[in-house]
Each structure stands twice: as structure tokens, then as C-alpha cells.
């Protein structure tokens, strides 16, 4: 699906560090520990491309990856990590806002939601930010392997109800497990279709 190399390009800590805006860009946003880095590894088929970890707040920079010759994948720092120092949180919130609102080539934001938890108040903040910036976003449910199939419908209903209030939301929700591989091929196809 993606011709060309998959590589880590750079970690960015300020807007002036962003690479040239010359490709379609897809970002992954979500609460700390929701599984953003793991999903990027699963999508690219590379076990340790993005650093995944049990320690919340592991990803502290905007990490750019090339996916073939036409796309950048962007791993964003997680939000809603209660233990992080206030000054750090504020710095990242400013950068996140500036990035989401100001990146011309950002085609879609994937917002990751833990299948065990559904949409939380901190997620709503990001969804409102994306509405305001008119960035189309699509919800990707993570860690589906941790929820019994019979219990998934209820969470999905909660997520659908939340999305109905957001004009920038893309209606299709993708259920994934980076661990088991569910939904990964679907997500790859979606990304390949974003030009
Ligand atoms: P930050 O960088 O801190 O914001 O976290 P992150 O969103 O990048 O999460 P990360 O990918 O580092 O994953 C956090 C933890 O969840 C790790 O221990 C992963 O192994 C685990 N995890 C991620 N995806 C899955 C999944 O699909 N299934 C299961 N069972 N565990 C997962
Ligand atoms: Mg991470």
C-alpha cells in the first residue's frame, strides 16, 4: 500500500521545528497510554519504530515518521496524564493546539479511545479543538482485545453519541487491537486513501 521507506524522521518540540509541509499528514492523538505508539508500530509492521511503554507520558515530542513517499505519520504526546508537572502540561497543550490548528497539510487526526473507557472529558477537549480548527477526525478504538465482544457495543454507543455532537467527526469508528492485529488492515487502507 505504501511505496517507499518507513522511517523515524524527527522529534519536534516547537512549531518552527516541523518538517516542510510537502506531504499528506495524519496524526494520532489520545490520552496518555491509550496506545498511540503501539498503533503506529502495528500499522507500519515495525515492532519498535515508535517507542511504546507502560510509563504514561512516554512520548513527549511530536514524532514524525515517513510512511512511503506520500505520507507523514505523526505521533503526538498524550494528554490527560495527571502526574505530569503543570508547566510541562501547559507547554505541550500550547504546542498541540498550535499544531492542530495551524498545520496546513494535516489531512486527518485519528483520535484514539480506549475500548475499556470510552470518551472522557479530556477527550472532549481535543474533539472541540479539532472542531474549532476544522480538522476532520476519526475515532480509533484501541485495546479491543481487553474487552469482551459482548461488552463492546455499549462503549461504541457511548462513543457514537459523543461524536454526534462534533461537526468535524468522521462517522466511521475503527475498532483495533495492536496486540492481536484487529482493524489494522482497515486502518492502513483508510490511510492509503487519504491523499
Ligand atoms: P504515551 O506515549 O505515554 O502517550 O502512550 P501511548 O498512547 O503511545 O501508548 P503506548 O503505545 O506506549 O501503549 C501503552 C501501553 O498499552 C503499553 O504497555 C502497550 O503495550 C499497551 N497496549 C497498546 N496497545 C495495546 C493493545 O492493542 N492491546 C493491549 N492489550 N495492550 C496494548
Ligand atoms: Mg507514545
CATH number of the 6-192 domain = 3.40.50.300
Which pLDDT score is estimated for 83? Answer: 76
Which pLDDT score is estimated for 92? Answer: 81
* CA 17 to chain CA centroid, nearest Å: 20
From 48, 52, 176, mutation site for ligand 1 pocket: most ligand atoms within 8 A of C-beta: 52
Summarised one tens digit per residue, pLDDT across range 127-142 is: 999 999 999 999 999 9
Cβ within 8 Å of residue 154, ≥6 positions away: none
Which pLDDT score is estimated for 6? Answer: 87
Q: What is d(CA 71, CA 25) in angstroms, rounded to the nearest whole number?
A: 6
Global pTM reads 0.94
First vs last Cα of the chain: how many Å apart?
12
Which pLDDT score is estimated for 189? Answer: 95
Which pLDDT score is estimated for 25? Answer: 96
Please list the ranges in the chain whose pLDDT falls under 70: 1, 56-59
Which pLDDT score is estimated for 59? Answer: 67
Cβ within 8 Å of residue 192, ≥6 positions away: 1, 2
**Ligand 1 pocket list (CB less than 6 A):** 30, 32-38, 52-54, 56-59, 78, 142-143, 145-146, 177-179
Which pLDDT score is estimated for 78? Answer: 87
Closest listed ligand to the CA of 56: 1
Amino acid at each position: 500500500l505504501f511505496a517507499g521507506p518507513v522511517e523515524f524522521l524527527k522529534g519536534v518540540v516547537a512549531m518552527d521545528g516541523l518538517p516542510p509541509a510537502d506531504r499528506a499528514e495524519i496524526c494520532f492523538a489520545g490520552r496518555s497510554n491509550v496506545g498511540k505508539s503501539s498503533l503506529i508500530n502495528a500499522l507500519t509492521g515495525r515492532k519498535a519504530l515508535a517507542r511504546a511503554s507502560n510509563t504514561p507520558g512516554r512520548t513527549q515530542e511530536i514524532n514524525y515518521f515517513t510512511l512511503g513517499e506520500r505520507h507523514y505519520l505523526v505521533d503526538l504526546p498524550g494528554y490527560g496524564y495527571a502526574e505530569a508537572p503543570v508547566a510541562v502540561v501547559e507547554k505541550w497543550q500550547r504546542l498541540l493546539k498550535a499544531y492542530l490548528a495551524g498545520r496546513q497539510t494535516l489531512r486527518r487526526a485519528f483520535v484514539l479511545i480506549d475500548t475499556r473507557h470510552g470518551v472522557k472529558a479530556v477527550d472532549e477537549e481535543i474533539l472541540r479543538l479539532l472542531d474549532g480548527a476544522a480538522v476532520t477526525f476519526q475515532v480509533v478504538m484501541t485495546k479491543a482485545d481487553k474487552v469482551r465482544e459482548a461488552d463492546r457495543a455499549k462503549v461504541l454507543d457511548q462513543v457514537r453519541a459523543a461524536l454526534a455532537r462534533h461537526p468535524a467527526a468522521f462517522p466511521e469508528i475503527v475498532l483495533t487491537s495492536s496486540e492481536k492485529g484487529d482493524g489494522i488492515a482497515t486502518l492502513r487502507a483508510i490511510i492509503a486513501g487519504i491523499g
